[in-house]
Amino acid sequence: MQLSNSEQEFLELYSDSEYEKPSVTVDAVLFRLKDIDTGNYRKLPQKKLQVFLVKRKFPPFKNQYAVVGTFIDLKNDIETSLKLCVKNKVNAQNYYYEQLYTFGEKQRDPRTRVISISYMLLFNQKENLENGEWFNIDLREDNHQLTENDAGYVFTKDIHLTLTGETEKLENHLKITIEKTNSNTNKKIEIVSSNIAFDHINIIYHALDRLKNKLEYTDIIFGLLNEKFTLTELKYSYEEILGEKLLDANFRRKTAHLVLPLNEFTKEAGHRPSQLFKANYNLKNKDID
Amino acid sequence: MQLSNSEQEFLELYSDSEYEKPSVTVDAVLFRLKDIDTGNYRKLPQKKLQVFLVKRKFPPFKNQYAVVGTFIDLKNDIETSLKLCVKNKVNAQNYYYEQLYTFGEKQRDPRTRVISISYMLLFNQKENLENGEWFNIDLREDNHQLTENDAGYVFTKDIHLTLTGETEKLENHLKITIEKTNSNTNKKIEIVSSNIAFDHINIIYHALDRLKNKLEYTDIIFGLLNEKFTLTELKYSYEEILGEKLLDANFRRKTAHLVLPLNEFTKEAGHRPSQLFKANYNLKNKDID
DNA sequence: ACAAAAGTGTTCCAAGTACACCCATGT
DNA sequence: ACATGGGTGTACTTGGAACACTTTTGT
């Protein structure tokens, strides 16, 4: 990885601006699980998955909601740009993050060619974010259609993603097409209609999908929980993201290796006190990309 | 997603060149499984995983090997740029591909700030590539070390990646550090020494890792096989990539739902003829990113 | 005959599924 | 007392692991 003298010379001559360059942004999809009180002193709060959006102050898409993002800074690494952006725009510093996907379709941004490197960020409820709003996420799938042929299949479905904030309800409709042939897999996402800026609903959908998939084989869930939690809280968290009910007894056994019991219990809850647990990070819950 | 008139006006004024932009490349890691003849008329060929590298004609890293890549073209989508690049540089058109990861550390490229969007491409043996060479991949892991603390753990290991071509043997040494804490997972890859250009060994390692992981829960393997294959061929393919032997009887049962039997058999092989199969693409082998 | 791959059958064990049941608490 | 969550036990099912065994071919 060392350069020879002649190579060094060449570098001096190298002109950086010979070809046109695209703009590059980092865009971050921020998630949390919010406790929704039930109003019943016995009942536990329900978990609701939320995404944090900010209202754009300038065109394009002025006054529309968007995910947190910025043009990247040449002086900083991508992840440093991400962290600075999140610090400056929403004033948050403690979160789990991972890279999602890089979007670069020609027409993404009406201004010019923009490539977006997207990240997923997970927050617990202690973090207070500024300059934006948390939106409840409701996902509904429709119109599943499978056409098989001898080279593979074509699968399509409709996605309805409703984002509900304090005052606004943002409806978004996507159409997914997965084309599998002899030699290729092609996943296309078409935005049928969207009430948020750019193709950001697409990015949010990708993040949701990744979150769901990673639940099953990693310990990513702990990014959304406080340090101490009950097993029922953990179960509600899984259920909210997966969109299905789980059996309690089995859930406890399956997740036993993911958690460590503490010698602390909840109280004043109108029912038997429950033991608190913390995450048990170990290598088996591998999180390797 | 429609723009108002005043937004349209703003766009006219928008200056594209107000801030410095990074350069962006697409880099493609090309894999295939090569049949290595055993010289014994009874024995089946062994499968060897290979990566395709091209020798750089210009600085930086002149005369060193690199993965196939190009600066992206503002006129085209990322994936179109990728396809054009692969067509032009190595003259290939039939392959499976998927996006891997986007690298953007400040020091990746000695010339200027370069962000690399990396892809993995899978070829079968029928494809003849030009202007480069296939290298055998040998991977060895070393020095596994796990230090646990109450907030998580730190895991390190050494990776030795040897790439063997017709005339050259390229040795590469990486050090992986996975730091897991309360609120974060941090995977660092340090290049201790490398005989190929840029940080490309890093990209290759990522591709290998992804390939291995995806073997277990998708039907990605078929991207490396010809249309028709025997079950033993399929088994050898898994074994070569996973780096471990599998039990034949169990393998047949487990992969039964992945394949469709054909009414064709191999012959003149010095042993019982074997039935040929083709991929059975179905939705259960989900390949959703 | 025999070496190699092709293919089947069987036993054992681990883990997931479904469900019944009891416990502890605050109002 | 009772609603609610906390927590355990058990019978059943499914699928993977290990391994023994038979079949078929070309030389």
**Segment A106-139, tens digit of pLDDT:** 888 888 899 999 999 999 999 899 999 999 999 9
**pLDDT of amino acid A282:** 75
| Strand boundaries in A37-89, DSSP class E | 46-55, 65-66, 68-71
Q: For residue A179, which phi and psi values (nearest 5 degrees)?
A: -110, 120
By mean pLDDT, which of A71-80, A81-90, A125-134, B8-17 is the weakest? B8-17
- The mean per-residue pLDDT over the stretch A36-51 comes to 94
**pLDDT of amino acid A284:** 60
Cβ contacts of B239 within 8 Å, gap of 6 or more: B47, B245, B246
- Count of residues in chain A: 289
Nucleotide C15: closest residue by CA–C1': A254
Q: How confident is the model at residue A14 (pLDDT cuts 50, 70, 90)?
A: very low
CB of A234 lies under 7 Å from some atom of strand D? no
Nearest residue to A103 (alpha-carbon basis) of A95, A113, A94: A113
By mean pLDDT, which of A197-206, B176-185, B227-236 is the weakest? B176-185
CB of A268 lies under 7 Å from some atom of strand C? yes
- Each residue's pLDDT tens digit, B244-274: 999 999 999 999 999 999 999 998 888 999 9
CA torsion sign, B191 to B195 to B198 to B202?
negative
Q: How confident is the model at residue B14 (pLDDT cuts 50, 70, 90)?
A: very low
- Each residue's pLDDT tens digit, A201-231: 999 999 999 999 999 889 999 999 999 999 9
β-strand A65-66 against B133-149: which pairing, if any? unpaired
- Each residue's pLDDT tens digit, B106-145: 888 888 899 999 999 999 999 899 999 999 999 999 999 9
Residue A146, pLDDT above cutoff 60: yes
Q: How confident is the model at residue A285 (pLDDT cuts 50, 70, 90)?
A: low
Distance separating alpha carbons of residues A158 and A141, to the nearest angstrom: 6
CB contact under 8 A, B74 and A111: no
Distance separating alpha carbons of residues B91 and A68, to the nearest angstrom: 40
Chain C positions with a protein C-beta closer than 7 Å: 3-10, 16-20, 23-27
**Percent above pLDDT 90 for chain B:** 74
Distance separating alpha carbons of residues B236 and B254, to the nearest angstrom: 15
Q: How confident is the model at residue B285 (pLDDT cuts 50, 70, 90)?
A: low
Q: How confident is the model at residue B202 (pLDDT cuts 50, 70, 90)?
A: very high
Residue B211, pLDDT above cutoff 80: yes
Residue A288, pLDDT above cutoff 50: no
Distance separating alpha carbons of residues A82 and A26, to the nearest angstrom: 6
Nucleotide D18: closest residue by CA–C1': B247
CB contact under 8 A, B184 and A97: yes
Q: For residue A269, which phi and psi values (nearest 5 degrees)?
A: -115, 0
- The mean per-residue pLDDT over the stretch A133-155 comes to 91
Element (H, E) at A138: strand A133-149
Chain centre to alpha carbon of residue B80 = 18
Please name the member of B71, B74, B96 whose beta carbon is closest to the beta carbon of A113. Answer: B74
CB of B232 lies under 7 Å from some atom of strand C? yes
**pLDDT of amino acid B287:** 46
- The mean per-residue pLDDT over the stretch B28-53 comes to 96
CB contact under 8 A, B183 and A223: yes
Residue B279 DSSP one-character state: E
Nearest residue to B100 (alpha-carbon basis) of B122, B85, B73, B126: B122
- The mean per-residue pLDDT over the stretch B138-160 comes to 91
Integer distance in angstroms from CA B254 to C1' D19?
A: 17
Distance separating alpha carbons of residues A104 and A112, to the nearest angstrom: 11
Chain D positions with a protein C-beta closer than 7 Å: 3-10, 15-20, 23-27
CB contact under 8 A, A60 and B10: yes
pTM reported for the whole predicted model: 0.92
β-strand B169-181 against B65-66: which pairing, if any? unpaired
CB of A252 lies under 7 Å from some atom of strand D? yes
Check: CB of residue A102 under 8 Å from CB of residue A117.
Answer: yes
Between A83 and A11, residue with greater pLDDT: A83
Integer distance in angstroms from CA A271 to C1' C22?
A: 14
